[in-house]
A and B are shown apart, each in its own frame.
Chain A
Amino acid sequence: MTGPAKALRPRLLAILGLAAAAVVAGRLVWIQGFRHAYYEEAATEQAQERITVDLPRAALLDRDGEVLAASVRCPSLFTFNPRRLSDPAGLARAVAGLSGQEPGDVLDRLRGRKGFTWLARKLPYDRFDEARALCQRYPGCEMMEEWGRAYPGGSVAANLLGCMGTDGGLAGLEADWDRALRGGSREYVVMRDAVATTLIPLDIVPDVDPRPPAVRLTVDGAIQFYAEQVLDRTVAEVRARDGVALVLDPRTGDILAMAVRPTFDPNAPALSPVADWRNHAVLDAYEPGSTFKLVTLAAALDSGRFRPWDTVAVGNGTLTVGPKTIHDDEPPLKAVYSLEEVLAHSSNVGAAKLGMALGPEVMYHYMRRFGFGEPTALRLKGEPGGVLRPPDQWSALSLPCISFGQELTATPIQLALAYASVAAGGTRVTPRVLPDGPVPPSERLVAPNTARELDAMLRRVVEEGTGKAAAIPGVTVAGKTGTAQKIGHRSEDGRKLFIAYFVGYAPAEAPRVVTLVMVNEPVGKIYGGAVAAPAWARITAFALKRLAARAAAAPPADLARVEVLK
């Protein structure tokens, strides 16, 4: 190699070195300067994960501020990696013992999985110590807090309130108002290790208490509890399939009590069949039976076709329409009944003749006006309107049968609201479970005079008719019995099945409560006057005393309002 070439070599190497350095520097500038955001995002995604934790839900209170449902911190158990557990079978048994799950189910969840795995979520709030002890006994089992739900009153108002699952409401108001009751959620960034195992910090519960304002319901805890006790005894006494006791304030539409049997414990809903969660007062429609005669009489009087003293020939208590013969339950006391007596003695023949005289269009008009055939303003999910076919689909038998409450169905709340309208002087009563809910403008259903005449008739039912057992000493009571046969249904031993009702209001001169008692498929005693009326009297007497005591006491502190999103 010549001298100049030899001298050139270091320069060449330097140039090459510089070029390489320039390439590296350029790449660095490209990565760190121009692609910075991309690589940062990729790195973050690889090392971090976002998890969402539900915040506590709004508490549900009765009208006096007593807690019906509240959110509470609950222990949840999990493992970062089931494959690292030393004794999965033992852990599964222990977790099952704590949570009520089947040990096999827990073990199945642990087998064949790697990474974060839940063992048991939202255990009862008073089981923190047991959960912590379990974690110490089985290395690899971890505990964290989640927000759960507790119902201090147990099954009180359970069918109205509903219950919660792991991820939201399962039934009742908890499900219907899920979105409104939710306290929102918060997102947390958690780290993942080299094998992508999520590492959740155990103190993930936020430092600030983020509880949303409580929601006050119109339910009166004492009336609710008493109604449930009376209903319990009544349903047990006649071995009924189910029962409903509804108490509402006709002046505001406030639901004061909504007792339903059978019921369940919302603290442990899985221990009861799902059928027991159902709110029969709103979600199920039944034949209203003779309680529906109120609508027939309202149509007769309000249409101007009849006056209370007008008479109907009931003969010997039978009426043949086509192939079918309609009977009165009891032979009539006389061959001719006034309209008042038709209601007082609950004459099917009298009601059928009235309905036939009015015609299908008039009857249908008044039925719709009283709210039958469409869901109530409660607008709970799944609330039916009941079966009410338009007149063009009626058979020759439909009109007489509908006139005394057969061949149609109505929910107990619809029926109670019809009587509430009469108690309210003939105006529509809109039900509500939120005391701060909007009150719609008053709408007249029947003339005030018609309401007064109906009121007098309903009083007579209790004074000298089928509803004597509903009398309350010292209180004027207006109401109606009902015994509806469940057409097309028979018990396993071939018995006919009935529904016993009593629905009415008190005190009749200034109604404070409208109460409905419905007992479905009683055995032995079947008549509304014998099964439902005594229970009605007990519940109504208690409700009146309770409201009187409440009026004398100071009003409860005003609680925050919550807009319920539908």
Chain B
Amino acid sequence: MTAPLPIGGKPIRQPDRRGLADALRLIGFTAAVAAPLLAYVALSSVYQLAAEYRVSALLARRQQLERERDRLSLQKASLLALPTVAAVAGEKLGLVPEDAGEPSVERPLEPPKPAAAAGAAAGVPASAPRPAKVARAPRVRRQ
């Protein structure tokens, strides 16, 4: 408690030591509040940056996959295109187009064996039931 100022006396400035304590308290309080905030902001930026890199990488990957999908779709379409099929049929299977457009085999096939003989050759007893569906031999084109 400060002593009352006598009448006619002059005030004397005295240092207020509580101010320093208040300032330190304020700094401490601010630091306590700001530090987590700053940490949050800093970490957010780092995470955001990392996320952006990740998104960019994913977009690039998506683009690459779309390009690959395009390429494969077209490759599939090219493989299924009739010129390709005809070339493979002619070069690898020896098929040639007949006049009416039916495929036929250029080289003569062996004459079809009787079912029993064919089954025996394949290790199937003659009494075994015949397959439900027997593929017909292609027509032979005599050269």
> Are A154 and B83 in touch, CB under 8 angstroms?
yes
Q: Is the CB of A66 within 8 A of B74?
A: no
Task: Tell me the B40-83 residues at the A interface (CB within 8 Å).
Answer: 59-60, 62-63, 66-67, 70-71, 73-74, 77-78, 80-83
Q: A72-B70, A154-B81 are in contact. List 12 more A-B contacts (CB 8 A).
A: A66-B77, A125-B70, A125-B74, A150-B74, A153-B77, A153-B82, A203-B59, A207-B62, A225-B83, A541-B100, A542-B100, A542-B101
B86 within 8 A of A: yes
Chain B residues with CB under 8 Å of A545's CB are 100-102
Across the interface, do B80 and A66 meet the contact criterion of CB distance under 8 Å?
yes
By beta carbon, the residue of chain B nearest A73 is B67
Residues of B whose CB lies within 8 Å of any CB of A are 59-60, 62-63, 66-67, 70-71, 73-74, 77-78, 80-83, 86, 97, 99-102
- A145 CA / B73 CA spacing, docked (Å): 18
- List B contacts of A153 (CB < 8 A): 77-78, 81-83
CB within 8 A of A229: which of B74, B77, B81, B97? B97
* A306 close to B (CB within 8 Å): no
Interface flag for A226 (CB, 8 Å) = yes
Beta-carbon contact of A222 and B82 below 8 Å: yes
Smallest CB separation, A53 vs chain B (Å): 14
Q: Is the CB of A221 within 8 A of B100?
A: no
Residues in chain A near residue B62, CB distance under 8 A: 207
For the complex, is A70 an interface residue (Cβ under 8 Å from B)? Answer: yes
Whether A209 is near chain B, meaning CB under 8 Å from some CB there, is: yes
Q: Could you say which residues of chain A place their CB within 8 Å of the CB of B82?
A: 153, 156, 221-222, 225
Given contacts A67-B77, A225-B82, A545-B101, contact A207 B59 (CB under 8 A): yes
- A128 close to B (CB within 8 Å): yes
- Cβ of B86 and Cβ of A70 under 8 Å apart? no
A residues near B99, Cβ cutoff 8 Å: 538, 541
Question: In the complex, A28→B70 CA distance in Å?
Answer: 55
Residue from B71, B73, B86, B100 whose CB has the most chain A CB atoms within 10 Å: B100
**Residues of chain A contacted by B81 (CB below 8 angstroms):** 66, 152-154, 156
4 tightest Cβ-Cβ pairs between the two chains A and B: A542-B101, A152-B77, A225-B82, A153-B81
Q: B74, B86, B101, B102 — which one has the most chain A CB atoms within 10 A of its CB?
A: B101
Q: How many A-B residue pairs have CB under 8 A?
A: 68
Q: List 22 A-B contacts (CB under 8 A).
A: A67-B73, A67-B77, A70-B77, A72-B70, A72-B71, A73-B66, A128-B67, A145-B67, A150-B74, A152-B77, A152-B78, A152-B81, A153-B78, A153-B82, A153-B83, A154-B83, A538-B99, A538-B100, A542-B100, A542-B101, A545-B102, A546-B101
CB distance from B61 to the nearest CB of A (A): 11
Cβ contacts under 8 Å, B70 to chain A: 72-73, 125
CB contacts (< 8 Å) of A155 on chain B: these are 83
**B71-A125 in contact (CB<8A):** yes
A205 at the interface (CB under 8 A from B): yes
Complex: A303 Cα to B71 Cα, angstroms: 60
CB distance from A384 to the nearest CB of B (A): 31
Q: Mark A526-547, 1 if CB is under 8 A from B, else 0.
A: 0000000000001001100110
